[in-house]
Amino acid sequence: MEELIRKICKNRKKSLLRDFLFDLLSPAEYKDLAVRWQIVKMLDNRISQRQISKALKVSVATVTRGSRELLNKTGGFRQSLDIFTRK
């Protein structure tokens, strides 16, 4: 995994990364990745878990997992939000 992460970080071409992820992941996994990112952004915007669950058609448990992960100030979700959404 470490090699894969290094290679992804080294790549700066958005289209190549999109194509790589599309080839690497199944269509369901690719969609799930996008949905999980939406969940995290919505939670960060203080939208209720039930509203997110209904809007994205996912279980409350899925949203709760994202919510728990956001509580970790040094976790990947929190750091990614800080980098990608607060420019």
Q: What number of other Cβ atoms are within 10 A of residue 86's Cβ?
A: 7
For 38, the token pair is: 């939406």
**CB of 66 within 8 A of CB of 35?**
no
Mean pLDDT (whole number) for 5-31: 85
Of all residues in the chain, the percent with pLDDT exceeding 90 is: 48
Mean pLDDT (whole number) for 32-53: 94
Q: Which residue has the higher pLDDT, 49 or 84?
A: 49
CB burial of residue 15 (10 Å; 0-12, 13-18, 19+): exposed
Mean pLDDT (whole number) for 18-30: 91
pTM above 0.85, yes or no: no
Sign for the pseudo-dihedral over CA of 52, 53, 58, 59: positive
CA–CA gap between residue 58 and residue 50 (Å, rounded): 10
Is the pLDDT assigned to residue 63 strictly greater than 80?
yes
